[in-house]
Amino acid sequence: MASRWADRPNETRVSTDPNESSSSPEENRSHASESVNYEVIGPRQYSYGQLAKATHYFSNNYLLGEGGFGQVYKAFLDGKIRAVKKLQILPSSKENLCNEIKVAGKVSHKNLVKLGGYCIDGADRLLVFKYFPNKSLRSKLHETEIMDWQKRMNIAKGIARGLEYLHEHCKTRIIHLDIKPENILLDDKFEPKVR
């Protein structure tokens, strides 16, 4: 569920893709067991063990999809269904990833997938997002049941609003470089969420 973002003056790259309220730093620290001690940088910090257990140890039965940045698994976490992305292609350093998580944790718009949590444990890097049962726009465009034009127009407008927020209204401007149907998730009311 990561997207490509470009570095520009006063802009940053971010890999984000869900909607979870953050907990206090004390709660975050109690949920993570890190071999390296560092500050809490995102909405919620999880341990690798918590996310492995939530995905049935990254079982293929829970695999939702796979892309250029890694695999996405369905997870049962904190009493809710979530999506956990296990990153394969990592930013050049842990510091870069931490910066991206900090920025992604502050981005909030109804048409963007919000980062709900993260785990950085040794070489393991995982991101936690809201689960979208309607999947991606791509899955809906290729179904036998055709979406009506009103629904398609509402999806297009929502995508445009999300991109406008990233490009014009974020404190740190973000340029999304990978807009495609696979990177547009649909909630239960077909409201689009750009990831």
Q: Is the pLDDT of residue 149 over 70?
A: yes
Looking at every residue in the chain, the average pLDDT score rounds to: 81
Q: pTM of this prediction? A: 0.74
Residue (of 22, 5, 2) closest to 177 by Cα position: 5
78 vs 116: CA distance, rounded Å: 11
Element (H, E) at 179: none
Q: Which residues contact 77 (CB under 8 A, 6 or more apart)?
A: 46, 50, 51, 54, 84, 128
Note the CATH architecture for domain 5-194.
Orthogonal Bundle (1.10)
* Annotation says 188 is catalytic: no
Q: Quick one: what percent of the chain has pLDDT higher than 90?
A: 54
β-pairing, 124-130 vs 115-121, is antiparallel
What pLDDT score does 39 carry? 61
What pLDDT score does 109 carry? 95
185 dihedral zone (left: phi>0; alpha: psi -120 to 50; beta): beta
Task: Using the Cα atoms of residue 172, residue 102, residue 157 and residue 6 in order, give the sign of their dihedral.
Answer: positive
Residue (of 57, 158, 175) closest to 107 by Cα position: 175
Q: Quick one: what percent of the chain has pLDDT higher than 70?
A: 77
What HEC string does 5-19 produce? EECCCCEECCCCCCC
Q: Is the pLDDT of residue 3 over 50?
A: no
* Choice among 121, 148, 178, 187 that is catalytic: 178
For 21-61, the pLDDT digits (tens) are 334 333 443 444 443 444 677 689 999 999 999 999 999 99
136 vs 119: CA distance, rounded Å: 24
For 73-104, the pLDDT digits (tens) are 999 999 999 999 999 866 567 788 888 888 88
Q: Is the pLDDT of residue 16 over 70?
A: no
The first and second tokens of residue 153, run together, are: 């127009």
Higher per-residue confidence, 110 vs 36: 110
